[in-house]
Amino acid sequence: MTWPGLSRGRAYCGSDLCVRTESQEIVHFHGENEADVHLTNPMIAKLRPALKRSTALRLRAGSGWVTVRLDTGADIDLLATLVSAALQAVAGLPEEGGTGVVTDPCTRHNRAYSR
């Protein structure tokens, strides 16, 4: 939360805590031991070999989100690294546009959903 340009809010999927830029959700938490990070499909494609080697990560085909299991201190470090990558990835995305429809839902959802 101390990184410039980030704020706290409620996630689109209903999770109580998310961290977001002005226009994009970056990370949100499902309980104490799991976080979803919005890396975007292009960033996941770029990092796929490294992501697939981690036992702490879950990828869902077609989703721009990855799930991080937060069981160890190394997992927290991985989460911070992925949040940094997510910030780079979403920098080039268009704003959500205020339509209320999220076209890249987190790993808990199979289709687009509304705010």
pLDDT digit string, tens, across residues 2-46? 677 888 888 888 777 889 888 888 999 988 899 999 999 999 999
Q: CA dist 3 to 19, 77, 80, 87, Å?
A: 10, 15, 11, 10
Dihedrals φ, ψ of 49, to 5°? -55, -45
- Beta 57-59 vs 34-38: how paired, if at all? unpaired
For 58-108, write each residue's pLDDT tens digit. 998 888 999 999 999 999 999 999 999 999 888 866 665 544 445 566 766
Kindly list the domain boundaries of the chain, sorted by start residue: 27-92
Q: Is the pTM of this model over 0.75?
A: yes
